[in-house]
Amino acid sequence: MSKSLLTKEHLQAFHEKGYTVVQNALTTEEVTRLHDEADELANYLTTEGYDLLHDLGGIVEPLECGYLDPLPADERLHKTELEAYIKRRDLITENVASWIIKTLAPMAGALLHHSLTYHQKLYLLNEQYIIKPPKTKSLSTFQWHKDGGYYQDPELRKEMTVACWVALDDVNEHNGTLLIGTMQGELHADLGDKEPEMISLPAGSIVFLSSQLWHKSLGNESALFRRVFMPQFSKRPLLDPDTSLPVGMAVPMPNMLSN
């Protein structure tokens, strides 16, 4: 499945514009599994007294949100070892890890390495849900940013990574969809005369975003929740220069496309 979803045109678009879109990439079963997990985690956090927006900014990391009992620092092998990652991830929802590894990772690797038959290494950097509650237009807006801009280390900011923005609900201008800018310059204003592109997609579609791309997402003014799942991948482990520990995760992915 993952091999047939991407074409050379997708690769070209990603490297020229910083993003590419694959519509209806997930099966109904896959969307339902992730949709239900997002709700399970959000409900858990709400019962624990957290406000999804005020306390968490709408970001829910499955392995870091407290849903699972925390591990001692010397036992957190799931952040750097594939088998340990799968074992711990399956404690939340079975088969999500397998889907990330077998479906998302090959596409992310093809885009990062600009090859449908890449042989280079690939690492799972992070995974998170972005959940926008209903009627939160002013609170759930994400301002213009580059994903790489969140790193404190200047060298890490330059690192090319890819985010897989997986829509779990239909997304449009009313419930918190994406606005796409440019990869040029330091400010999104460098669009010049070009208007930002607004993305409207059915649930189960994926927008692949470069870490060097200016983008934002609108607030959710609708009466329903808007859920997105967003794993991110890198070409190498991204390490904090002060601690030499991964800034997120650094789980090596099997090379699915070169087998």
pTM of the model: 0.94
User: Could you tell me which of 8, 16, 21, 14 has the C-alpha nearest to residue 202?
Assistant: 21
* Dihedral over Cα of 34, 7, 211, 169: its sign: negative
pLDDT at 159 over 90: yes
pLDDT at 31 over 90: yes
What local confidence, expressed as pLDDT, does residue 124 receive?
Answer: 98
What local confidence, expressed as pLDDT, does residue 1 receive?
Answer: 40
pLDDT at 257 over 60: no
> What tens digit of pLDDT does each residue of 56-94 get?
999 999 999 999 999 998 889 999 999 999 999 999 999
Taking a C-beta distance cutoff of 8 angstroms, is the pair 214, 145 a contact?
Answer: yes
What local confidence, expressed as pLDDT, does residue 259 receive?
Answer: 40
| Token representation of residue 97 | 């890890």
Share of the chain above pLDDT 90, in %: 82
Mean pLDDT of the chain: 92
151, amino acid identity: Y
> What tens digit of pLDDT does each residue of 94-150 get?
999 999 999 999 999 999 999 988 888 999 999 999 999 999 999 999 999 999 988
Distance of CA 52 to the CA centre of its chain: 18
Residues 6+ apart with CB under 8 A from 61: 126, 127, 128, 129
Cα-only R_g, the chain: 18
Once rounded to an integer, what is the mean pLDDT over residues 142-166?
Answer: 92
pLDDT at 192 over 70: no
Sheet of 215-217: strand order equals 142-145, 215-217, 178-180, 197-198
> What tens digit of pLDDT does each residue of 44-58 get?
999 999 999 999 999
Q: CB neighbours (10 Å) of residue 88?
A: 18
> What tens digit of pLDDT does each residue of 176-187 get?
999 999 887 766
Confidence of residue 2 (pLDDT cuts 50, 70, 90): very low
Q: What DSSP state is assigned to residue 201?
A: B
Q: Could you give the dihedral angle defined by the CA atoms of residues 38, 180, 218 and 30, in that order, rounded to the nearest 10 degrees?
A: -20
Return d(Cα 104, Cα 187) in angstroms, integer.
30
What local confidence, expressed as pLDDT, does residue 195 receive?
Answer: 80
Phi, psi angles (nearest 5°) of residue 217:
-130, 145
78, amino acid identity: H
Once rounded to an integer, what is the mean pLDDT over residues 173-198?
Answer: 80
What local confidence, expressed as pLDDT, does residue 78 receive?
Answer: 96
Return d(Cα 97, Cα 103) in angstroms, integer.
10
